[in-house]
Structure 1
Amino acid sequence: MSLYGLLRTSVSGMNAQSTKLSTIGDNVANSDTAGYKRASTEFSSLLMANSKTNYNSGSVVSSIRYAINEQGALSYTTSSTDLAVQGDGFFVVNDPTGMPFLTRAGSFTRDGNTGNLVNAAGFTLMGYDISEGDAQGTLNGYANLVPIDISAMNMQASASTTGIFTANLPSDAGIVAAADLPSTNAATADYTAKSSIVVYDDLGSEVVLDIYFSKSADSTWEAAVYDQADATPGSSFPYSSAALATQTMTFDANGNLTSAGTMTIPVPGGQNVTVDISKMTQLATDYTPLTATVDGSAPSTVTDVEIGENGIVQAIYENGSKAAAYRIPLADVPSPDKLQPMAGNIFSTTLESGDVTVGFPTESGLGSLVSGALEQSNVDLATEFTEMIVAQRSYTGNSKVFQTGNELLDTLMNLKR
């Protein structure tokens, strides 16, 4: 029986080395595959019960391990939608049926049919829609994730809601009579200074606001805001509609504002714009506008996409404005090396890997996103070829053992002759 055991043992050795050569072949074939994680073959022995005078040969068993948790080198590209994870974590992607998987392959491009970001294997990148208020995420699952749809960000307008206006008002300006203040909207209205600013309504149309400043008493000023579209051609006053907002501003002996530091202006067809005027001054110099900024933008198409290391996806529009639309999460498991690799460079969770947890890049121990980069395969060709030589030699050795056992059986059979 020991000769038959010898044959079985050598066959198990050849099978084990064949498995090792198969993993080496996969590794070499995918040495240039972005996000590929190398496989390796480990061996363990199976021993039979033996006595002091009789030995029964056992066999060898192979098992496959994946170096999923081993970081591959990053290579930089010219595409802002190429993504790499620097550190722990995986992208969440869906297959065409909507089944979620994990991957480190971040070669995402815009799909011509859906507008979604898909990688080279056709899996769709998933994230949270910030515009819908889903920026917090779900810690223990894939709930509320949606495809990152670049086409959905086209032709968006943003209504103005906040602004800052800072200027110096001349302390030696003459006082305007109450009957002639701009807030009266009379044809005889007088003022000390005037500025115009652009805001945007709900449809993204420009609305020009005329802001009049008039000294109504010592250290006291009135600000009156009108829609320029309602002005009388050639003379402004009277406007065809009343002032959108008026504000009384008072200053101390040092020229600093002591009254309310904000002014609320209802934009026709838009939102209420809260303007910060807390830095207004009244000093002995001319009227000097210093800051005039208002948020909002006109309708514009997306020209590019910017993805930050924290996973926030911003659309860059033709007019130079930016708008955050999605946030890309990262998922992780307690034992990444126990994930199950599948075709398309994706991984599925197993009992051994543990349950998935979802978070955001740079938070809770997760890595950061690198835009314009890809994680390369962690295969080292020099190591693989060395292992190939070793496996080839071991296979040859096992085959020689099998051949020797076969020859011994032939000798045994020939004794009968």
Structure 2
Amino acid sequence: MIGALYSGLTGLRTHQAKVNIIGNNLANINTTGFKKSRVIFRETFAQTLKGGVAATGQRGATNPNQVGAGVQISSIDVNHKNGSPQITDVATDLMVRGKGMFVLGAPDAAQVDPNSKGVSASSNSVKVFTRAGNFGIDTNGDMMYRPNGYRVMGWNADSATGLVDSSKPVGKINFPFSKSIAKSTGFVEYMGNLDTRAGQAELTEGGGTGIKTYDLPADSQLSTGAHRIIVKRDPADPESGNLVASLDGGPDVAIPGADQAVTLQDPSGNGITLSFGENLNSGIASINVVSAVHKSTIGVYDGVGQRHDVELTFTKQKDTDNTWTWAATGATDVEADGVSGSGLVRFNGDSGAFEFVTPAEPTVTIKPKGDGKDLTFDLQFGNLTQFASTSDAMASRQDGVGPGTLTSFSIGADGTINGIFSNGISRSIAQVALADIPNPEGLNTIQDSMFAVSPSSGAPSYIAAGGRNMGEISSGALEMSNVDLTEEFTDLITTERGFQANSRIITTSDSILQEALGLKR
């Protein structure tokens, strides 16, 4: 009877432990990232009353006679099955869809192992893990675990290139809200037309002046459009009958005589060469000019985000068909002679399409004032044309931007945090790491829905989400508890019945003992 009492006692103890586990599961049914546990029982040792005997001759074998000594807990296992998603629409709420755990850096003096007897953990060497992705951002811009402030681990991107190197050790993830970034210009793309009629003039109204020939000098930058030529008596000697001519109100130039070339200049010094016939006389003539020069200005940015307005000048070659020179002729906020770059652009005479440029890889270099480094950027002329239409070639785009600060972000399925900056730059700023645990069931469960490594869990490796056999990350969602309410209540009922049965063993054994003690009466 004593043995039966102790067997019943072991049954009460084990079923009580199972009730405790079920109670903890039910208590955490709404706990984010919680993983339920289960209890497995096993039989304790058995007392052998009679050993088994093998068959001999005409006598068959007999089986052993054994009496069990009760039950004990075989294992308490954590079920790491994924929980259902809970949509929150909070960008920093993350959920792992599949294998993997988020990595948290334990601060100094944090007790992360219930078996470590108070040994503290360094944030540089000891990590803890969780499936609860309710993260936030602290005042320093660090991504942290809301329940206790532990920092979320991952890889920060290179601030200049936005590239993430996941082969490096994991560290805290930081959002650069207080830092500005800029991007220096790497290329400028030009598009539009350069007028094939550039460098030509047309007499639209002679005005009785007797103009015979007209031509633009090679270096003339006379603007496109109509220009007025006035021929009149020399105001310095009106009685002499000598004639002078002027262009758009520019200086008067004496006309030496018929068939003699004379160059007139406008107030800006841009000129045209004329000659007059025998019928030279006073009057006002009009000449329409298509300028041989076209200028375009584009703002570019150096490495520190300073803007420089660079002027590029295209000049039609007078002696070479379908050919223009290009040259960087000015820039703002640069040293003296701080801009350089020139070459040729050639077009197809039949189609007006771009043919080639020299040098083959055209560049412009500017030398900013101050401490900024020299900036060299490529020019792309492939979209230019040469048709008989007004010159409108201009820079259509360039890839540099001035300083900007982080305004918003998004987190992708691979854990990459993509930042949007006020200057329009979109760049990776970090990537959330996942831990691959060889044996997740071997982890020690600690506070705040976290886990710590143990000798049976194996050493973790840190991998980007979606890599190897790891799950992907969903932003704006949390993983709910994987506790099944119906399953837990079913287990609770069977456990209660088991506890009652073991209680009955004790009361029955006690009654038999009472009867045995009564025999002496």
TM-score interval (norm. to shorter)? 0.7 to 0.9
Distance, in Å, in 2 between the alignment partners of 1:364 and 1:244 is: 50
Asked if 1:245 is matched to 2:341, the reply is yes
Asked if 1:225 is matched to 2:328, the reply is yes
Asked if 1:263 is matched to 2:363, the reply is yes
CA RMSD of aligned residues (A): 3.0
Structure 1 unaligned blocks of 5 or more = 232-238
1:277 maps to what in 2? 380
Match of residue 102, structure 2, among 91, 99, 119? 91
1:149 maps to what in 2? 174
User: Offset at 1:258?
Assistant: 2.4
Distance, in Å, in 2 between the alignment partners of 1:289 and 1:58 is: 97
Return the letter of the residue paired with 2:78.
Y
Structure 1 residues 13 and 187: CA distance shift in structure 2, 3 A = farther
Return the letter of the residue paired with 2:70.
S
1:64 maps to what in 2? 76
Structure 1 residues 292 and 87: CA distance shift in structure 2, 3 A = farther
Asked if 1:407 is matched to 2:511, the reply is yes
More displaced, 121-130 or 277-286? 277-286
Name whichever structure is richer in helix by fraction.
1
User: Offset at 1:228?
Assistant: 4.3
Q: Is the 8 A contact 2:315 2:325 kept in 1?
A: yes
Q: Secondary structure at the match of 2:457?
A: coil
User: Offset at 1:66?
Assistant: 0.9
Counterparts of 1:122-137 in structure 2, within 5 Å, are 122=148, 123-131=150-158, 135-137=164-166
User: Offset at 1:60?
Assistant: 1.9
Q: Is the 8 A contact 1:6 1:57 kept in 2?
A: no
Q: Is the 8 A contact 2:302 2:375 kept in 1?
A: no
Structure 1 residues 277 and 187: CA distance shift in structure 2, 3 A = farther
Return the letter of the residue paired with 2:294.
A
User: Offset at 1:65?
Assistant: 0.8
Asked if 1:195 is matched to 2:221, the reply is no
Q: How many residues align?
A: 397
Distance, in Å, in 1 between the alignment partners of 2:146 and 2:479 is: 13
Asked if 1:121 is matched to 2:147, the reply is yes
Distance, in Å, in 2 between the alignment partners of 1:271 and 1:400 is: 91
1:16 maps to what in 2? 14
Distance, in Å, in 2 between the alignment partners of 1:369 and 1:267 is: 46
Q: TM-score, normalised to structure 1's length? A: 0.84
Structure 1 residues 391 and 408: CA distance shift in structure 2, 3 A = same
Distance, in Å, in 2 between the alignment partners of 1:187 and 1:333 is: 80
Distance, in Å, in 1 between the alignment partners of 2:466 and 2:134 is: 21
Q: Is the 8 A contact 1:115 1:149 kept in 2?
A: yes
Name whichever structure is richer in strand by fraction.
2
Structure 1 residues 410 and 354: CA distance shift in structure 2, 3 A = same
Q: TM-score, normalised to structure 2's length? A: 0.69
Structure 1 residues 382 and 280: CA distance shift in structure 2, 3 A = same
Structure 1 residues 203 and 291: CA distance shift in structure 2, 3 A = closer
Structure 1 residues 249 and 8: CA distance shift in structure 2, 3 A = farther
Q: Is the 8 A contact 2:328 2:364 kept in 1?
A: no
Select the structure of larger CA radius of gyration: 2
Distance, in Å, in 2 between the alignment partners of 1:271 and 1:408 is: 101
Distance, in Å, in 2 between the alignment partners of 1:178 and 1:169 is: 21
Asked if 1:378 is matched to 2:482, the reply is yes
Distance, in Å, in 1 between the alignment partners of 2:198 and 2:5 is: 113
Query: Equivalent pairs: percent with the same residue?
Result: 26
Q: Secondary structure at the match of 1:390?
A: helix
Structure 1 residues 335 and 201: CA distance shift in structure 2, 3 A = same
Distance, in Å, in 1 between the alignment partners of 2:321 and 2:426 is: 44
Return the letter of the residue paired with 2:87.
Y
Q: Is the 8 A contact 1:154 1:300 kept in 2?
A: no
